[in-house]
Amino acid sequence: MEELQEKSLHPPAQQAAAGAAQKVQFADLDAEVQLAVQSASEKKATEMVVLDLRQIASFAEFFVIATGSNQRQVQAISDEIEEQLKRRLATRPVRIEGYRTAEWVLMDYGDFLIHIFNKDAREFYDLERLWRDARKVELPAELVEA
Protein backbone atom coordinates (compact mmCIF):
# COMPACT_ATOMS: atom_id res chain seq x y z
CA MET A 1 0.00 0.00 0.00
CA GLU A 2 1.14 3.49 -0.76
CA GLU A 3 2.10 5.66 2.13
CA LEU A 4 0.06 8.84 2.42
CA GLN A 5 1.97 12.03 2.86
CA GLU A 6 0.37 14.99 4.60
CA LYS A 7 0.25 18.11 2.47
CA SER A 8 -0.19 21.65 3.64
CA LEU A 9 -1.23 24.86 1.95
CA HIS A 10 1.71 26.54 3.66
CA PRO A 11 5.31 25.57 3.00
CA PRO A 12 7.44 24.60 6.00
CA ALA A 13 8.68 27.68 7.83
CA GLN A 14 12.32 27.21 6.84
CA GLN A 15 11.50 26.83 3.15
CA ALA A 16 9.19 29.84 3.21
CA ALA A 17 11.80 32.00 4.93
CA ALA A 18 14.49 30.93 2.48
CA GLY A 19 12.21 31.60 -0.51
CA ALA A 20 11.16 35.00 0.81
CA ALA A 21 14.79 35.99 1.41
CA GLN A 22 15.74 35.44 -2.24
CA LYS A 23 14.91 38.50 -4.29
CA VAL A 24 13.81 38.38 -7.88
CA GLN A 25 15.47 40.85 -10.24
CA PHE A 26 13.36 43.46 -12.03
CA ALA A 27 14.98 42.59 -15.37
CA ASP A 28 13.66 39.02 -15.04
CA LEU A 29 10.01 40.14 -14.96
CA ASP A 30 7.65 39.96 -17.92
CA ALA A 31 7.56 43.12 -20.06
CA GLU A 32 3.98 43.84 -18.94
CA VAL A 33 4.90 43.88 -15.25
CA GLN A 34 7.98 46.02 -15.90
CA LEU A 35 5.93 48.53 -17.90
CA ALA A 36 3.23 48.66 -15.20
CA VAL A 37 5.84 49.51 -12.55
CA GLN A 38 7.50 52.10 -14.79
CA SER A 39 4.12 53.69 -15.57
CA ALA A 40 3.19 53.89 -11.88
CA SER A 41 6.56 55.48 -11.15
CA GLU A 42 6.00 58.10 -13.87
CA LYS A 43 2.84 59.17 -12.04
CA LYS A 44 4.76 59.45 -8.76
CA ALA A 45 3.38 56.33 -7.06
CA THR A 46 5.06 55.73 -3.70
CA GLU A 47 5.90 52.66 -1.63
CA MET A 48 6.02 50.45 -4.71
CA VAL A 49 6.46 46.74 -4.10
CA VAL A 50 6.31 43.79 -6.46
CA LEU A 51 5.64 40.39 -4.89
CA ASP A 52 6.49 37.15 -6.68
CA LEU A 53 3.63 34.73 -5.97
CA ARG A 54 4.70 31.94 -8.34
CA GLN A 55 5.79 29.57 -5.57
CA ILE A 56 2.85 30.19 -3.24
CA ALA A 57 -0.25 30.91 -5.36
CA SER A 58 -1.83 29.61 -8.53
CA PHE A 59 -4.20 32.47 -9.40
CA ALA A 60 -1.49 35.03 -10.28
CA GLU A 61 2.27 35.27 -10.68
CA PHE A 62 2.85 38.79 -9.35
CA PHE A 63 1.29 41.54 -7.26
CA VAL A 64 2.28 45.10 -8.04
CA ILE A 65 1.43 47.28 -5.04
CA ALA A 66 1.62 51.08 -5.05
CA THR A 67 0.29 54.05 -3.12
CA GLY A 68 -1.18 57.33 -4.32
CA SER A 69 -1.54 60.37 -2.08
CA ASN A 70 -5.17 61.13 -2.98
CA GLN A 71 -8.13 59.99 -5.10
CA ARG A 72 -6.97 61.83 -8.23
CA GLN A 73 -3.45 60.45 -8.04
CA VAL A 74 -4.68 56.87 -7.50
CA GLN A 75 -6.87 57.25 -10.60
CA ALA A 76 -4.02 58.86 -12.58
CA ILE A 77 -1.69 55.96 -11.74
CA SER A 78 -4.37 53.48 -12.82
CA ASP A 79 -5.06 55.41 -16.03
CA GLU A 80 -1.36 55.59 -16.93
CA ILE A 81 -0.79 51.88 -16.38
CA GLU A 82 -3.86 50.95 -18.44
CA GLU A 83 -2.95 53.36 -21.26
CA GLN A 84 0.71 52.34 -21.52
CA LEU A 85 0.01 48.60 -21.45
CA LYS A 86 -2.69 49.01 -24.08
CA ARG A 87 -0.67 51.31 -26.34
CA ARG A 88 2.77 49.71 -26.09
CA LEU A 89 1.99 46.02 -25.55
CA ALA A 90 -1.64 45.66 -26.68
CA THR A 91 -2.52 44.31 -23.23
CA ARG A 92 -5.85 45.07 -21.61
CA PRO A 93 -7.02 44.32 -18.09
CA VAL A 94 -9.51 41.53 -17.51
CA ARG A 95 -11.26 43.91 -15.11
CA ILE A 96 -10.70 46.99 -12.98
CA GLU A 97 -12.42 47.41 -9.63
CA GLY A 98 -12.59 50.33 -7.21
CA TYR A 99 -11.74 53.05 -9.73
CA ARG A 100 -14.61 55.38 -8.86
CA THR A 101 -13.87 55.63 -5.12
CA ALA A 102 -10.10 55.18 -5.65
CA GLU A 103 -9.38 53.94 -2.15
CA TRP A 104 -8.11 50.64 -3.57
CA VAL A 105 -8.01 50.15 -7.32
CA LEU A 106 -7.52 46.54 -8.39
CA MET A 107 -6.38 45.96 -11.96
CA ASP A 108 -6.53 42.31 -13.01
CA TYR A 109 -4.26 41.41 -15.92
CA GLY A 110 -4.60 37.65 -15.45
CA ASP A 111 -1.00 36.69 -14.71
CA PHE A 112 -0.48 39.71 -12.49
CA LEU A 113 -2.61 41.99 -10.34
CA ILE A 114 -2.03 45.67 -9.66
CA HIS A 115 -3.16 47.13 -6.35
CA ILE A 116 -3.16 50.92 -6.09
CA PHE A 117 -4.10 52.19 -2.66
CA ASN A 118 -4.59 55.47 -0.91
CA LYS A 119 -2.45 55.70 2.23
CA ASP A 120 -5.19 54.70 4.72
CA ALA A 121 -6.35 51.68 2.71
CA ARG A 122 -2.75 50.52 2.20
CA GLU A 123 -2.14 50.53 5.95
CA PHE A 124 -5.48 48.88 6.71
CA TYR A 125 -5.25 45.98 4.23
CA ASP A 126 -1.45 45.51 4.57
CA LEU A 127 -1.08 43.08 1.66
CA GLU A 128 2.66 42.71 2.26
CA ARG A 129 1.92 41.20 5.67
CA LEU A 130 -0.78 38.91 4.28
CA TRP A 131 1.56 37.74 1.51
CA ARG A 132 4.77 37.76 3.56
CA ASP A 133 5.78 34.35 2.18
CA ALA A 134 6.11 35.85 -1.31
CA ARG A 135 9.51 36.80 -2.63
CA LYS A 136 10.06 40.52 -3.20
CA VAL A 137 11.28 41.83 -6.52
CA GLU A 138 14.34 44.07 -6.37
CA LEU A 139 13.18 47.34 -7.97
CA PRO A 140 15.68 49.77 -9.52
CA ALA A 141 16.33 52.82 -7.31
CA GLU A 142 15.14 55.25 -9.97
CA LEU A 143 11.67 53.65 -9.89
CA VAL A 144 11.21 53.78 -6.12
CA GLU A 145 12.73 57.16 -5.30
CA ALA A 146 9.58 59.04 -6.32
Per domain, the residue ranges of the chain are 14-139
Kindly tell me if the per-residue pLDDT of 29 is higher than 70: yes
CATH superfamily of 14-139: Beta Polymerase, domain 2 (3.30.460.10)
CA distance 110 to 62: 10
CA distance 37 to 77: 10
Range of lowest pLDDT (20-24, 62-66, 101-105): 20-24
Pick 23 or 143 by higher pLDDT. Answer: 143
Q: Per-residue pLDDT tens for 93-106?
A: 999 999 999 999 99
Kindly tell me if the per-residue pLDDT of 71 is higher than 80: yes
DSSP for the chain?
-PPP----SS--HHHHHHHHHSPEEGGGS-HHHHHHHHHHHHTT-EEEEEEE-TTT-SS-SEEEEEEESSHHHHHHHHHHHHHHHHHHH----SEEESTTT-SEEEEE-SSEEEEEEEHHHHHHH-HHHHTTTSEEEE--HHHH--
Local confidence band at 24 (pLDDT 50, 70, 90 cut-offs): confident
Average pLDDT over residues 109-113: 96
